[in-house]
């Protein structure tokens, strides 16, 4: 499953969440209920933004999203999607990343504001994809991102388990991966959101710098083409001049004879 977010979700979040004040009367009698309403409002808007950030990154990199990794601030987005929890049908958005040090992290966010995370070392991750039957890490993530793969999620106490199943040639599904995520404290939601925004800013900064470098290379190529054209014209004129002088000298020698 892939996250489905309207193209205007990110813009709608930016204008409404960042620039629209929350109007509420925080007096002593209703402080608790006002704070609960405010918290739910913030969590719901942040959840929309989390989906929008990754969906926007996917939509601008469709040709490399599954075949290659999107590198964001040293992290590589390897898999993402949205799934409903079996118990209460709550929507959960998840994503898996890798770090330059070889560690892997899995994170999940529910529409109610709950956050689950889990980290794996390179050895633990190799064991996970080998148990799923994958020959390599690349093949493993191709399976996770396959549209035909079946994704299920279940909650148990303070944990979340996400399972991927793949269909075999006979039409039966077999489990290829099961990630066990532990629930984080409430403030982890804000920390995760801040981290994603920082990663997104770093991604666009890197993309902008790359575009500037490409423009500079294009300008240099144009200058080299102009220089090559000038040299070609100079060589042609030089060749014509030499032939003309040689012909003149040859004619003078013939006249003397």
CATH number at residue 91: 2.170.210.20
130, part of any domain: yes
Tell me the C-alpha distance between 28 and 197, whole Å: 34
Residue 98 lies in domain: 9-186
Domain assignment present for residue 121? The answer is: yes
Which pLDDT value is given to residue 15? 37
Q: Is residue 221 part of a domain?
A: no
Percent of the chain predicted with pLDDT > 90: 0
pLDDT, mean of residues 92-106 = 77
Residue 249 has pLDDT above 80, yes or no: yes
Give domain status of residue 26, yes or no: yes
The predicted structure's pLDDT at residue 83 = 63
CB atoms within 10 A of CB 71: 15
The answer to whether residue 80 is domain-embedded is yes
Count of structural domains, the chain: 1
Cβ burial of 34 (10 Å; 0-12, 13-18, 19+) is middle
Give the model's pLDDT for residue 119: 86
More reliable by pLDDT, 158 or 20: 158
Structure tokens at 98: 């890798």
Which of 43-47, 129-133, 233-237 bottoms out in mean pLDDT, i.e. has the lowest? 43-47
Query: Who has greater pLDDT, 41 or 68?
Result: 41
Q: At what angle do helices 188-256 and 31-59 cross, to 10 degrees?
A: 20
Q: Residue 188's beta-bridge partner residues? A: none
**Segments of 157-243 assigned E as strands:** 159-167, 173-183
Residue 106 belongs to some domain of the structure: yes
DSSP-H helix ranges across 85-167 = 122-131, 137-144
Q: Is 177 left (phi over 0), alpha (psi -120 to 50) or beta?
A: beta
Contact 177, 34 (CB under 8 A): no
61, part of any domain: yes
Residue 214 in any domain: the answer is no
Q: Which residue, chain included where needed, has tokens 């999620």?
A: 153
């Amino acid at each position: 499953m892939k996250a489905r977010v309207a193209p205007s979700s990110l813009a709608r979040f930016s204008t409404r969440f960042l620039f629209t004040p929350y109007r509420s009367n925080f007096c002593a009698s209703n402080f608790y209920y006002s704070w609960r309403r405010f918290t739910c409002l913030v969590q719901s808007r942040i959840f929309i933004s989390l989906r929008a950030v990754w969906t926007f990154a996917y939509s601008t990199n469709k040709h490399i999203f599954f075949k290659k990794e999107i590198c964001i601030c040293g992290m590589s987005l390897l898999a993402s999607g949205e799934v409903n929890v079996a118990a209460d049908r709550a929507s959960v958005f998840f994503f898996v990343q890798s770090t330059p040090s070889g560690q892997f992290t899995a994170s999940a966010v529910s529409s109610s504001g709950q956050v689950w995370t889990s980290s794996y070392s390179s050895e633990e991750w190799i064991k996970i994809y080998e148990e799923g039957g994958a020959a390599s890490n690349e093949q493993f993530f191709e399976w996770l991102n396959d549209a035909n793969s079946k994704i299920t999620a279940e909650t148990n106490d303070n944990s979340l388990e996400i399972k991927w199943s793949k269909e075999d040639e006979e039409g039966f599904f077999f489990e290829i991966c099961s990630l066990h995520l532990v629930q984080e404290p409430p403030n982890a939601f804000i920390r995760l959101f801040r981290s994603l925004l920082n990663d997104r800013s770093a991604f666009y900064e890197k993309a902008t710098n790359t575009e500037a470098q490409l423009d500079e290379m294009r300008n240099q190529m144009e200058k080299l083409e102009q220089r090559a054209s000038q040299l070609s014209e100079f060589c042609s004129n030089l060749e014509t001049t030499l032939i003309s002088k040689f012909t003149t000298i040859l004619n003078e020698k013939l006249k003397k004879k």
